[in-house]
Amino acid sequence: MSTNNKVAIITGGARGIGWSTAEHFIDNGIFAVIADIGKCPKAFDKYINAGNGLFVKADVSKEDNIKKLIDLAYKKFGRIDFVINNAAIAFNKPIEKLSLAQWNKVVSVNLTAAFLTARYSAKYLRKTKGAIVNIASTRGLMSEKNTETYSATKGGLLALTHSLAISLSPDIRVNCISPGWIDTRKSPDDSQTPPPFSKADHLQQPCGRIGTPRDIAEMVLYLCSDKAGFITGQNFVVDGGMTKKMIYI
């Protein structure tokens, strides 16, 4: 893809899928603005010092934090080309023990934040004919027990994606990725590798392994590229085939 000093904003960018996406973008000549409620990873300092990265401490459940994020990114780089809505939390517990405050918090981080980043970045994305990629989950399509908050918000992202794709067309493309089981245990500053998963964990996946954050980062980059110029409003399931596997007990 032609990068030409393009700029990507990635929420929840301090670890996991967000971190891998930021590194993959920078490796492909795209400036990365990572936003996270936690500390800036020390591993990101080299990108900041090289001038191709920016860290913004932000709580995406708060509208003023999102507005600040968009403003700082534009002030720093003078343009915004891509917005990757990756930040997410969950309270997985029996519904009888799930409080309304917890429900509302998950909705604000996982779903409302994606609406707000689109709202505040749209004027910049229109100028660059940019793209939005929402990171949903296969939990938006299927569930385990006690995942009501997470599943509902990820399902909401699927609908928000195709709605935004129509509302923001033809200037901005909006797509969604639904990852399956991705190993996000290691943070960028970790010196030790987490213990390996069992052989059974890997082999239950039709692809024969658990996914990596890079698997998702590759798809994010593709959907932002000119190669995906005829794709909008779609959800791409990247789960090693698990949602297509019939399981009988």
DSSP reduced 3-state for 229? coil
Name the β-bridge partners of 220.
Answer: none
Is residue 57 within 8 Å of residue 42, measured between CB atoms? no
Query: Alpha-carbon distance 60 to 67, whole Å?
Result: 9
Name the β-bridge partners of 11.
Answer: 35
Query: Alpha-carbon distance 134 to 86, whole Å?
Result: 6
Query: Alpha-carbon distance 94 to 100, whole Å?
Result: 13
CA dist list (Å): 15 to 63, 99, 201: 22, 27, 22
Per the residue annotation, which of 47, 120, 124, 150 is the catalytic one?
A: 150
Query: Alpha-carbon distance 154 to 147, whole Å?
Result: 11
Query: Alpha-carbon distance 131 to 205, whole Å?
Result: 31
Known active-site residue 150? yes
Active site residues: 150
